[in-house]
Structure 1
Amino acid sequence: MADAVGQPLDDIDARPGSTASLLRTLIGLYLRPLGGWISTAGLVALASDLGIDAAPARTGITRLKQKGLLQSERRQAPGYRLNPDAVPMLERGDRRIFAMHEMSDADGWCLVSFSIPESARSVRHQLRRRLQWIGAGLVSSALWICPGHLRAEVEQILDDLDARRWATLFQADAPSPPGSLVEAAASWWDLEALRAEHLTFQRSLATLPAEPFAAYVHLIDRWRVLPYTDPGLPPAMLPADWPGRRSVEEFTRRSRPLAGPALAHVRSVVAAA
């Protein structure tokens, strides 16, 4: 989904750990289990449990409302409901975050070729940016490659930007570059930057809060960008010491025991508020 200026509603530019990112993660995790609505007092109280003071929490909530994630709605008290248009985006995010797809060497690919006129250069810029956000690799200036299972997301991006008329999609088997697949992957994706992101995530696990709710939200917040920017390349395209598998294992191991207690805490805070 895109807002009025073409920016994706699930913008992942916010720095993990920032007020904007933590609030977005909190809302994405819990408004649906709560029935789609939360009082302002409940949301501010939960933000406080994440270390966010009331004033910046209220400012951050207002900005998420402006982005289109929330809508004001008074029930028994002032509060916010989840924008129904945001639900499909959050559901796509769930599939990414909680079931990161790691390709096998036999999986197929989607190639995206486009030629966008200069009169629509802002669309071209947004298309390139959003293809990067879903983990697509740049083969040449107007040819991108991504895992085949992301084709539907590519089509959604093209529809959001009204750019389908300028793009052609191809299904493909294994690429056949002039050099090795590992060399090709390193030229199509910034693997060193992705490696650094994985290692940063792994190091950050030592600083998770002790309380289950805060630990769980911070864990998801630190992790949620990686399943977008890392396409989950197959083993044949990755260096032997690639840290991605360990990140997945650590996220899974730590998130499972925290999820239940964190949700129980949310329900108790909301009921009290």
Structure 2
Amino acid sequence: MSAVLDDMDSRPGSTTSLLRTIIGLYLRDAGGWMAAKDIVALMEALGTSGTVTRTALGRLRKKDVVVQEVRDGIPGFMLTDGAGAMLSRGDRRIFNPRSMAPSDPWCLISFSIPETEREKRHQLRRRFHWIGCGTVAAGLWICPDSLRVEVEEILEDLQLRQMATIFVTETPLVGGSLKEAVSSWWDLDAVAELHKDFIRELDAAGRAARSGHVEPSAEAFAVYVQCIDRWRVIPYLDPGLPLAFLPDDWPGVRGVELFTRIVEDYSKPSRQFVRATLELAAEVAASP
């Protein structure tokens, strides 16, 4: 499963989604393996019971995100090789929001897929949408040229590269204004709502961070995990188009600023809380 498919696979805020976010953020930092009881303890900091967490772990095992491994008699979980690579790709997208300049090139993808391959055609459109492509016509999609590598990967993965032609172009020449054309190629209202929802839910945390130093705590950990969990789908669906081509009241700028501020203020204390939690668990386990 590709990084984008996994990121879209569970609803942000759900137990499985939050657990996946914790694993993505901290399991690698813990050396690639974490005891099941420690994962449960971290999820409890988010208000999730051990029973519910174990059920969610079972779901992630079925999706080949984690595998169970016992170390020194302690059951735990480690990432699969595929999941490790997937999370690394996801990191690059999530923590580096895109921003296209008006003079940057565009990528156009034209394809014609026979009816015998209609399921692949459906998957192609679905995955193009999920990486932030817009639809010019039924068989013609558009995106910033910075996404061309991902477009190529999708075509190769679906074995459709021979049925598609990619054009790299300067600013498209349209009948009306490019701003009007962009609003018809992308569902900007849906992307704007994602930013607005993120701002509504995390704005208070952003203001609190500005008012003083954030200490390592379960609260800081919860804020940071919820921030990443809520944000991680936005950099996929938002292509990062130039402001000149977007609505005047575009909330994306504020969304990116808020995300950046929370990452700067909460990532370190959250990581310190996790490490302290794991160290305490190790000390308890080693005590007679």
For residue 167 of structure 2, give the secondary structure of its aligned residue in structure 1. strand
Name the CA distance, whole Å, in 1 between partners of 2:102 and 2:149: 21
Report matched runs for 1:123-202 at 5 Å.
123-202=120-199
Q: Does 1:222 align with 2:230?
A: yes
Query: Which residue pairs with 2:271 in the alignment?
Result: 263
Q: Which amino acid aligns with 2:36?
A: T
Paired AA for residue 72 in structure 1:
Q
Query: Quick one: distance in 2 between partners of 1:244 and 1:203?
Result: 13
CA distances 1:127-173 after superposition (whole Å, capped 9, x unpaired): 11111111100111111111111111111112222222222222111
Task: Please point out which of 6, 9, 13 is paired with 1:10.
Answer: 6
CA distance in 2, matches of 1:207, 1:218: 13
- Structure 1 stretch displaced more, 122-131 or 159-168: 159-168
8 Å CA contact retained: 2:224, 2:263: yes
**Cα deviation, residue 210, structure 1:** 7.6
User: What is aligned with 2:24?
Assistant: 28
CA drift of 1:91 comes to: 1.7
Check 1:11–1:253 CA distance in 2 against 1; reply closer, same or farther (3 A cut): closer
Q: TM-score, normalised by structure 2?
A: 0.88
Give the C-alpha shift of residue 8 in structure 1.
5.8
Per-residue CA deviation, residues 89-137 of structure 1 (Å, 9 max, x unaligned), is 2122112111101111011111111112222211111111111111100
Q: 1:38 to 1:24 in 2, by over 3 A?
A: same
Q: Contact 2:7 / 2:232 at 8 angstroms: preserved in 1?
A: no
Per-residue CA distance 1:190-232 (angstroms, 9 max, x = gap):
1111111111111111465981111100011111111111000
Instruction: Deviation per CA, 1:73-104: give whole Å up to 9, x if none.
Output: 22221111111112232122112111101111
> How does the TM-score come out when normalised to structure 1?
0.93
Residues 210 and 20 of structure 1: is their aligned pair in 2 closer, same or farther, counting only changes over 3 Å? Answer: same
**Corresponding residue for 2:92?**
95
Q: 1:9, 1:86 within 8 Å by CA — same for their partners in 2?
A: no
- Matches of 1:91 and 1:109, distance apart in 2: 25
Distance in 2, matches of 1:179 and 1:126, equals 31
Alignment check: 8 A CA contact 2:102 2:244 kept? yes
Task: Report the count of equivalent residues.
Answer: 269
1:120 paired residue among 108, 117, 121: 117
Q: 1:19 aligns with which of 6, 9, 15?
A: 15
Gaps of 5+ in 1: none
On the 8 A contact 2:221/2:269 being kept in 1, the answer is: yes
State the partner residue of 1:205: 202
State yes or no: 1:41 paired with 2:41: no
Match of 1:245 in 2: 253
The one-letter amino acid of 1:91's match is S
Backbone CA RMSD of aligned residues: 1.8
- SS of equivalent to 1:10: helix
CA distance in 2, matches of 1:8, 1:239: 26
Q: Give me the identity figure in percent.
A: 53
> Aligned AA for 2:56?
G
Decide whether the 8 Å contact of 1:181 with 1:236 is kept in 2. no
- Could you list the structure 1 runs, at least 4 aligned residues long, displaced by more than 3 angstroms after superposition: 206-210
Determine if the alignment matches structure 1 residue 52 to structure 2 residue 60: no
